[in-house]
Copies of this chain bind each other. A is one copy, B any other.
């Protein structure tokens, strides 16, 4: 029930995911709303509805995520917690999904706060940016955990065996940044604690290098990550708009644009935030994928396919192994201090 085009596009996307990617989708929401949509698609015998009478609006945030146990997102999270589903996909309000998932899918031991992983469309392989907005004020230790989450994600979703990790900060030298990133840099260069696996830490990354593809995973706090991601999307949209004006300002230029139609179409497709799929909320006891609020059926299908890839790749188990036991104890102390 989440997303600007819910439930129609969500249902259509879920059906396509089931047909094209060999997975089973359960829809949570009011049966009386969903059944006619499913019937119109001729899928009454294919898609199962799990009743959820309430739903969280796109304008609602974390509070609604915590408090509304009968909302479609809460019911979906409960299905994962009970083992009746492998993953949740939602195009609803990010704040509500994060809150609902933390409350109902529960954090993994050793990962007190989840991180939201998105793919930046770098060439030849995308780059994972984590956290893109789940945890606005993490402690430095959590940035190391985000590194592990991002590495597991890059291994499973992108097939990179030993992903290189960079820290988003200001200035290339180790001592540069704010208090958070200076401490995180120390932790990332230190020997892994106890049972944690090593990270291939490649040093600092500046904002100008987000699209350089120099590392596989870029670690940041959720505030900076969200500002950077939206700045990136906004700048590319701005450049495309300026370009459109420049390319059609004179008759000669318009003729030129006609000659370039295919190249430009491919470019705008590659730069389109929608086309590089949903964001993965990592560090919880189950897989959660957040599709863009404006998702159409095609984006929902991509998000379902990503959720299936992560779940089949056993990302939750991989993260447990990466974080190790001793890291769990430290996280326990961190939690008690809060």
Query: Would you call B263 and A170 a contact (CB within 8 A)?
Result: no
* Interface residues of A, count at CB 8 A: 64
Instruction: Kindly specify which of A16-24, A70-78, A244-252, A288-296 makes contact with the partner chain.
Output: A244-252
A337 interface residue (CB < 8 Å to B):
no
Kindly identify, within residues 174 to 230 of chain A, every residue whose CB is under 8 Å from any CB belonging to chain B. 175-179, 181, 206-212, 221-224, 226-230
Q: Is A236 interfacial (CB-CB < 8 Å)?
A: yes
**Counting CB contacts under 8 A, is A115 at the interface?**
no
In the complex, A136 has a CB within 8 A of chain B:
yes
A264 close to chain B: CB less than 8 A: yes
Q: Which of A266-274, A297-305, A307-315, A328-336 contacts B (4 or more CB under 8 A)?
A: A266-274
- The residue of chain B having its C-beta at the shortest distance from the C-beta of A246 within the complex is B263
- Neighbouring B residues of A212 by C-beta, 8 Å: 234
Chain B residues whose C-beta falls within 8 Å of the C-beta of A238 in the assembled complex:
211, 236
- B-contact 0/1 string along A83-120, CB 8 Å cutoff: 00000000000010000000000000000000000000
9 interchain residue pairs of minimum CB distance = A207-B230, A256-B256, A208-B234, A256-B259, A235-B235, A207-B231, A246-B263, A239-B239, A136-B178
Q: Could you list which residues of chain A lie within 8 angstroms of chain B, going by C-beta atoms?
A: 61, 95, 133, 136-137, 168-171, 173, 175-179, 181, 206-212, 221-224, 226-240, 242-243, 245-247, 249-250, 252-253, 255-260, 262-264, 266-267, 270-271
